[in-house]
Structure 1
Amino acid sequence: MIFPQTPSTPADNQDSPQRSPMDGQENPRQLKPLPLEYFDSEVVLKAHLSRMDEPTGPIDIELHKARAQVLKVRIRDVEQLRASMPYRSYDVDKEIATLRYRRKILLWVTFPIDELPVEILSNVFRYVVWSSEGADQATRHRLYLTWVSRHWREVSIDDKTLWNSVWFRDKAPWTRSLAFLDRAGTAPLDLRINERERRPTDKRAPTKITPYQIQFLLDRVLRKVDQIRILVIVLDTWQSTLVALHKFSQCGLPVSMERFELHRTGKPFFWVAPSVPFRDIITPVVLCRETLPKLKWLCLNGISVDWYRLPLTNLTTIDIRRIVPVEAPDSNRWVEMLKASPNLFKLALDAAWPQPVDDMAAVQRVELPHLRDFLLGDMNLTCAMFVLAHMHAPRVMNLALMNLGREDFGPLFQAITGHFTQIKLLSIYTVEIARTAVNRRIMVKWMESMPHLRMLKIAQAQTHLLKMFLENPHDYRDPDEMDCNPTAPDGLPPPRPVLCPKLDYLLFLSQDNDSVVALVEGRYAIGAPFSKLYIPQPHLPQVPEEIRRRLRMAVGEMLVTVNLALTPPEEEIHAEMAASVEVTENSY
């Protein structure tokens, strides 16, 4: 039996096999997998099953059990031999792994799964579907379950919860997805229309949904509006988006809805008042004419609604993107929306802000004690300062600043210094800071106010901004901020203070390689190295081997991430964010 190399994420694996420092020979660990470590791996199992022939007749259960018993005895004998050997043998380990694997396959084949009670078999099927990696795989798994046998088909179709999550990714008229919708019966529904991630291998853009197609689809979907728990709609044109808005505003009461997202991804960038052939639909549209009693998550991207007739209370997530200023809520309405959601957990404003007022001092500030996740992006300095003037959120733990350019944003960092002291995850994507002594002092003070920062994510960040993470905060302190005791108890000088002393993880993409090397080597030189460096897989080819070598020398470990999936440190921080509030964010 062949044991294939298990894929791993370290970027080192992109290189040629390393040499053993002991004898200069090739290290076997770099060339061969260790069989006893990998015999039970999912990769090995999939490779084996893909080569197995489909059973063509009844299986002799007793014969298979006898073979499994023989293998068990053989495994015991070889393990005894292994224990008596003075050294570790790769060939013996491979023999044990092969025997164990053959026995495992036999036990799987003889397992009487069809004799399980229906409720237990249904639970098994649910685990299969819910453990799928992505929407496409979940769809395939559900179809596979109905193809095995008549019994499995009946059990699968009778379990309504297997079908209540529907991704409308098939072509119009969505026959397969609508069949899933029918099979869901009266179960709560999680529906995602045209939500997909564009893969680098995709040769052409997905087909755009026309206004008449979305009208047809929503006529079918909204018949079950009282069952819908999640509704995510992604459309390209404003015509289709307007039809979707109108259909939703005219439907019945969505008493079960907890999450609503409507995205317009195409041009123009901002929402433009429509004209013919949709004269009968006026704007701004009322999103819903009834109260949404369970709604917790609202995302509006590239569209505008009637903010003054928006019955929103107790939201945990507000995500608003690409709203033309004249269509945005005014300052008073924005304050009302924030006050109506005291448990707000996540606030994302990307090219969206309240309508400015002349007197900034008249702006009312809202307390947001539960806000943990805050994104601010794609706006000018005045608008960014205006957004911050409306809120006081001292316990933000994840801060993302994106596309803040075309002017000096130094005053923004001065404004937030001391306000977000609990930050553990910081993202800086394309933020412009003028290279001045004043800004250097502002940035050092800001970084010093984030002692809990553990992970930094950067993209197209300025080199001089990154180098500020290497500054000595002592050089920027006022006389009254100096340490009272400049020496350690043993009489030796104290260690050099560093900014963000808990900063352990770095992720970069679309970033100048030299600036990353300067940051990584600089943190290493001041005694505060990164323990892990993450590089997204699509960006890896842009990092030359010499750059990788220098990075590996200055970090504990260099890893490659898959697309935009959360890294383990991010998952840990998000778990801490959710655990730190009484209201936990639901992310379906």
Structure 2
Amino acid sequence: MSYTESIALALIDWHCSTFRPPLIKQSMRSYGSLTLRGRSAIDHLPNELLSTIFMLAVEQHNHDESDPFTTSPTTISHTCHRWRQISLETGSLWTNIVLTFPTSNEQLTRTLTWLSRSKTYPLDILLDFRDPEWDWDEEETHGFCGADMEAVLRLLLPTAARWRTVELFTDTWAPIFAFLFHTRTIGTALNRLEKLHLARCNAYFAGKGQVFEPAALGQHLPLFGGAEGAAPRLREVALTGVHIDWAAPPLANLTTLELKYQAADVMPTIAHFTQILAASPNLETLAIVGRGPQFVAAHDGSAKADGAALRGTIKLERATKFTFGFVDATSAVQLLSLLDLPALSELSLEDVSASLRHQPPDDVGVLLEWLADAADGAHDTSISPPFFEDAGDSSSASTSHLPLGQLNSLALHSIYAQRLAFGRLYEECSDLRILRLCDVGDGALEALDGVGSLDTPGADVGSCLPRLETLFVRGIHQEIFARVVSSRGTALKESRFEESSINVYTEHDS
């Protein structure tokens, strides 16, 4: 714990204690009797230390706004004259810029005030223009349109050189298009930008057969104009329902990349996808949810160009965390067959088709079997993806390396398969410590229920995931959960069960 944190905690303890400075009575001939309070301990703190305490309070507020003991810069600046002077001189207190729907003159005025008070400090910007009452009409009825986004950008663009994080959430495409269009000339000014998250929160477009809408705004705009060297510090990029010109910079030198819920026709080709990952050799976290990159059909004239990339693997030496959501097992194998993740320690799998089709997911046991085979090098060539048809030996073309044996954490969401398929997957996860099962088939938990090795059904319970320490379960029969926890005894250090929060399958981005 730092010195300033210790001071802050001490002040909180003092405030909660029963001790209060004694009251001083002073008789004044002209004004009668006046009661004055002695100076408190906090009044003796130097301005620099008080400013640091304010920063700690605001940081806690930004992480947990439900905590009644936290505060905001506005509250601090309205406490007393001294606190106001110190807070106004502490520019780092005013760097969290938040605009939400519906926008108002009060919000815009507050934004201008905070931008001014933040001086030259880096800015963290959150723009959340989602409307919970929106009726899903893309063209007419949303209360926040492209012109509104332009008005917001007129306030923010002059401070672009100070942007550190930018998060933009919308329901429709027009505001995203406006952001990409009006920021195309500021790329070279973004010297402080570290994190970018653009989200059109409509998972519907990841469904089978869906194409991008509205078609009139479907062009691929380069991020920040695609200028070479733009945003040199950008390390984390998340594009949810948002496509860009995949061939243009500045998607390079990333540590985190997330591509989620995009229509198949606007996703990058496998060649562009490979180039993006090759430009980020230090990538640590990769998430692909919904549609993966576009694979060129073997009969297409450009298949030969892509074929060279498909024959090898996409190797990410430092990637430790991989989140993969798919719409069908075939497309899942298509992408997984190209990946080589030698440092993988956290894997999350989700069948997103359930929420997109308003019905339970299909049995994806073939995918679980393929993963188990890929882990031990025995690829099942019977389900080799079709783009290898002209590549000769399909088994040699798929040289993926997904080291399940070194996984520390595995999460399965909406995965349905037979018990044996889950058991086969668990057999390869010999070092697994954390298992999360959310709204999956009962077989996922039953495979842990005293089965042991598939070859020896009577084996000890501990032979299946022998190092498992944490088990989180949601939406599976509670009696199965209780039986598994009981059978594992003290080897399981932490376990938790939740009822499923899913009542109907929806199109909304969870």
Classify the TM-score, shorter chain: 0.7 to 0.9
Q: Does 1:272 align with 2:212?
A: yes
Could you tell me which residue of structure 2 aligns to residue 158 of structure 1?
A: 89
Q: Does 1:386 align with 2:317?
A: no
Distance 1:129 1:531, change over 3 A: same
Q: Does 1:260 align with 2:196?
A: yes
How many residues matched? Answer: 418
Q: Does 1:223 align with 2:146?
A: no
Could you tell me which residue of structure 2 aligns to residue 366 of structure 1?
A: 314
Q: Deviations over 1:196-221 (max 9, x none)?
A: 999xxx9x99x953322211111111
Could you tell me which residue of structure 1 aligns to residue 378 of structure 2?
A: none
Could you tell me which residue of structure 2 aligns to residue 172 of structure 1?
A: 104
User: In structure 2, what is the Cα distance between the partners aligned to 1:508 and 1:495?
Assistant: 22
Q: Deviations over 1:166-196 (max 9, x none)?
A: 2223733422233222211111111111189
Distance 1:535 1:468, change over 3 A: closer
Structure 1 residue 296: Cα displacement: 0.5
Maintained 8 Å contact 2:253/2:283: yes
User: In structure 2, what is the Cα distance between the partners aligned to 1:115 and 1:390?
Assistant: 64
Q: Deviations over 1:416-453 (max 9, x none)?
A: 222222222221111121x3xxx71x432321221222
Could you tell me which residue of structure 1 aligns to residue 400 of structure 2?
A: none
Structure 1 residue 266: Cα displacement: 4.0
Q: Write the mapping of 1:37-116 to structure 2, written as runs, cut at 5 A.
A: 60=22, 111-116=40-45
The code of the aligned residue for 2:437 comes to I
The code of the aligned residue for 2:277 comes to L
Q: Does 1:411 align with 2:366?
A: yes
User: In structure 2, what is the Cα distance between the partners aligned to 1:400 and 1:45?
Assistant: 45
1:340 aligned residue (266, 276, 279) = 279
SS at 1:176 equivalent: helix
The code of the aligned residue for 1:422 comes to Q
Could you tell me which residue of structure 1 aligns to residue 219 of structure 2?
A: 283
The code of the aligned residue for 1:534 comes to R
Q: Write the mapping of 1:243-322 to structure 2, written as runs, cut at 5 A.
A: 243-253=178-188, 254-266=190-202, 269=205, 272-274=212-214, 283-289=219-225, 290=227, 291-322=230-261
Could you tell me which residue of structure 1 aligns to residue 434 of structure 2?
A: 455
User: In structure 2, what is the Cα distance between the partners aligned to 1:463 and 1:116?
Assistant: 60
The code of the aligned residue for 1:464 comes to G
User: In structure 1, what is the Cα distance between the partners aligned to 2:156 and 2:22?
Assistant: 48
2:56 aligned residue (119, 123, 127) = 127
User: In structure 2, what is the Cα distance between the partners aligned to 1:121 and 1:321?
Assistant: 43
Q: Write the mapping of 1:488-507 to structure 2, written as runs, cut at 5 A.
A: 497-507=462-472
User: In structure 2, what is the Cα distance between the partners aligned to 1:335 and 1:267?
Assistant: 24
Q: Deviations over 1:504-556 (max 9, x none)?
A: 222233x03x2x321331342255663323356x869x9xxxxxxxxxxxxxx
Could you tell me which residue of structure 1 aligns to residue 449 of structure 2?
A: 470
User: In structure 1, what is the Cα distance between the partners aligned to 2:366 and 2:186?
Assistant: 46
Structure 1 residue 380: Cα displacement: 1.1
Bigger Cα Rg: 1
Maintained 8 Å contact 1:229/1:257: yes
Distance 1:136 1:213, change over 3 A: farther
Could you tell me which residue of structure 2 aligns to residue 142 of structure 1?
A: 73
User: In structure 2, what is the Cα distance between the partners aligned to 1:182 and 1:455?
Assistant: 47
SS at 2:271 equivalent: helix
SS at 2:72 equivalent: helix
Could you tell me which residue of structure 2 aligns to residue 557 of structure 1?
A: none
User: In structure 2, what is the Cα distance between the partners aligned to 1:452 and 1:111?
Assistant: 56
Maintained 8 Å contact 1:394/1:420: no
User: In structure 2, what is the Cα distance between the partners aligned to 1:148 and 1:531?
Assistant: 47
User: In structure 2, what is the Cα distance between the partners aligned to 1:377 and 1:267?
Assistant: 12
Structure 1 residue 135: Cα displacement: 6.5
The code of the aligned residue for 2:312 comes to Q
Moved more, 465-474 or 385-394: 465-474
Structure 1 residue 315: Cα displacement: 0.5
Q: Write the mapping of 1:414-429 to structure 2, written as runs, cut at 5 A.
A: 414-417=369-372, 418=375, 419-429=403-413
Maintained 8 Å contact 1:172/1:213: no
Moved more, 254-263 or 496-505: 496-505
**TM-score normalized by the length of structure 2:** 0.72
Quote the sequence identity (%): 21
Maintained 8 Å contact 2:316/2:341: yes
Could you tell me which residue of structure 2 aligns to residue 533 of structure 1?
A: 495
User: In structure 1, what is the Cα distance between the partners aligned to 2:63 and 2:100?
Assistant: 12
User: In structure 2, what is the Cα distance between the partners aligned to 1:503 and 1:267?
Assistant: 33
**TM-score normalized by the length of structure 1:** 0.63
1:234 aligned residue (165, 169, 175) = 169
Distance 1:196 1:498, change over 3 A: farther
Segments of 5+ residues of structure 2 without an aligned counterpart are 1-9, 26-36, 137-141, 299-306, 354-360, 376-402, 504-510
Distance 1:142 1:526, change over 3 A: closer
Q: Deviations over 1:219-238 (max 9, x none)?
A: 11121111101000011111
Maintained 8 Å contact 2:51/2:90: yes
The Cα RMSD (Å) is: 3.8
SS at 2:319 equivalent: coil
User: In structure 2, what is the Cα distance between the partners aligned to 1:497 and 1:137?
Assistant: 41
Maintained 8 Å contact 1:498/1:528: no
User: In structure 2, what is the Cα distance between the partners aligned to 1:268 and 1:447?
Assistant: 32
Segments of 5+ residues of structure 1 without an aligned counterpart are 1-39, 64-107, 479-492, 543-588
User: In structure 2, what is the Cα distance between the partners aligned to 1:230 and 1:180?
Assistant: 16
Could you tell me which residue of structure 2 aligns to residue 489 of structure 1?
A: none
Maintained 8 Å contact 2:123/2:163: yes
1:181 aligned residue (115, 118, 131) = 115
Q: Deviations over 1:371-429 (max 9, x none)?
A: 11111113211211122122211322221111255433223222322222222222111
